[in-house]
Each structure stands twice: as C-alpha cells, then as structure tokens.
Amino acid sequence: MAYSEKVIDHYEHPRNVGALDKDDSGVGTGMVGAPACGDVMRLQIRVNGQGIIEDAKFKTYGCGSAIASSSLVTEWVKGKTLDEAMAIKNSQIAEELELPPVKIHCSVLAEDAIKAAVEDYRKKQGGAPVAAQPEMAGAQAAH
C-alpha cells in the first residue's frame, strides 16, 4: 500500500506518544476501536484553567494511517479550546495526510477519539454542555 510521505513521517516519528493520568480531573481520555482492522486508539488531553488544551498524548495500535491520524490530531489540538477541538473533522485529517479512500475510516477514528476525550473531560467537570451530547449519541447509534 502506498502511504503518503506525511503518513510515513508521522508513522516513523509519531508525535506525543504516551499517556496522561486518566484519573486527573484535568485530563480527558477518549478510547475508540475499529473492529474491522482491530485498531485500538487512546487519545488524551490535559486542559488548563482557561479551557485550553495544553497537552495531548496518544497510543494507537493499528495501521500506519490510524497512527498518523492520531499523531496529527494530538499536534493540532494543543493550544486549542475544547470547542475548537470538537470542530476538527475527519475530512481535514484525511486531506492533510492524503489518505486514500480505503483509509478514510482511520481519520474518522481519530475524530471520534478527540471528541470522546473532550466529552470525558467535560463529564469530569460535571457540566457536560448540551450541544456535545447529540454527537456522542450519533456515534453510538452507528453500532
């Protein structure tokens, strides 16, 4: 399979691999999986008092595209607000990494992971904004 140079770069030099303390109240953890490929992805964010994502880590077991997608997302979300992070679309990830159509679902996984991480953080903070709920409901309905 022909990976783009950007995918290979992220695959060989993944950014922000690792873990944050999932029990920390300032950390949001998103875990998603794609059974078709057996991919498992964990994406975590640390949010500061101003609601800005100041750190992000990921761990992905899967193909090069899934690793590159999550690596790219951790780079993108740093310095962003939660709403900005929620606005990241898989099409932007796919475009940046020049993913072929058969690998688009890897970018969808990364989008789901960051959304799940923001959701988890918001839930920990107690007041999950109403607007965020339907997206999770939509993601669940896809089962």
Binding site for another protein (CB under 8 A): 31-38, 40, 42, 59, 61, 105, 108-109, 112, 116, 139-140, 142-143
Told to judge if 63 belongs to the known catalytic residues of this protein, a careful annotator would answer: no
**Looking at beta carbons only, is 1 or 50 nearer to another protein?**
1
- Give the nearest distance from C-beta 32 to another protein in angstroms: 6
Catalytic residue among 17, 31, 37, 139: 37
Measured on CA atoms in the order 67, 37, 111, 114, is the torsion positive or negative?
A: negative
**Which amino acid is located at 141 in the chain?**
A
- Give the nearest distance from C-beta 34 to another protein in angstroms: 6
Token pair for residue 3? 């990976």
- Give the nearest distance from C-beta 40 to another protein in angstroms: 5
The 10 Å Cβ neighbour count of residue 138 is 9
Q: Which has the closest alpha carbon to 83: 52, 42, 48, 49?
A: 52
Catalytic residue among 20, 106, 110, 118: 106
Token pair for residue 49? 């008092």
Distance of CA 39 to the CA centre of its chain: 13
The 10 Å Cβ neighbour count of residue 55 is 17
Catalytic residues: 37, 106
